[in-house]
Amino acid sequence: MDFTWSVFRQKVQGMHRLLVLAGLLLVACGAPTSGLRTGTYVFGALRGREAAPSATVSGSTLELDVLTREVKLTLGGATRRFTMAQDATTTTGCPGNFGGTAQETRTLDAPNIQLGELLIDAPVLRTDCPAGSPNLVLQSGPVSAAGAAPDCSAEVICVVYSRR
C-alpha cells in the first residue's frame, strides 16, 4: 500500500469531521435547564410528609416575579414578601436517558417560613419535574455546596405550587 501525505491528510480530515460531529451530538444531548417563570401559582401538593395539609396551607398562593426576584406568599389572607437570591444555582432532577434536567434553584431571604402547620427552614424555590412543568417547589434547604436543593423526604418539606 502506497501511504502518501495526501492519504494521511484525508484520513486526519475524516477523523476531525467525525470528532466535531460527535462533540456536537454530545452538546445537543446535554441537560436542558428548566427555569423559574413569572406568574401566580396555587397550592398543588405536599411532598415528603404523609399527613394531609390544613385548609390554610392548601389555600395558599405564591406570586413570583423573576425580573424583580420578588416572591409573595399569601396564606390565610396575609401576604409575606421575600426576595430570591440574585444568582441561581441548579438542582439536577427529572431523570432522563442521558442525565437529568437542570432545575433553576434560588434561596429566599428568610431563615425560615411558617406555612400554617409547616416550618420550612432555609427556604428554597426551584422548578419541578418533568422538564417544562408549570409547577414550582417551595422547600426546606439548605442547598448543597454545589447549589443543589435536597430531595423531598420526611425531614425536607416540599410544597408544590401549580401555575394558575
Number of Cα atoms under 13 Å in the Cβ half of residue 14: 6
Q: Evaluate if residue 39 carries a pLDDT over 80.
A: yes
Could you tell me the three cell numbers for 79? 401576604
What is the average pLDDT value for the chain, to the nearest integer?
84
Q: Evaluate if residue 27 carries a pLDDT over 50.
A: no
Q: Is residue 164 exposed (0-12), middle (13-18) or buried (19+ Cβ within 10 Å)?
A: exposed
Q: Evaluate if residue 28 carries a pLDDT over 60.
A: no
Q: Is the peptide bond before 53 cis (omega within 30 degrees of 0)?
A: no
Q: What does the pLDDT read at residue 24?
A: 45
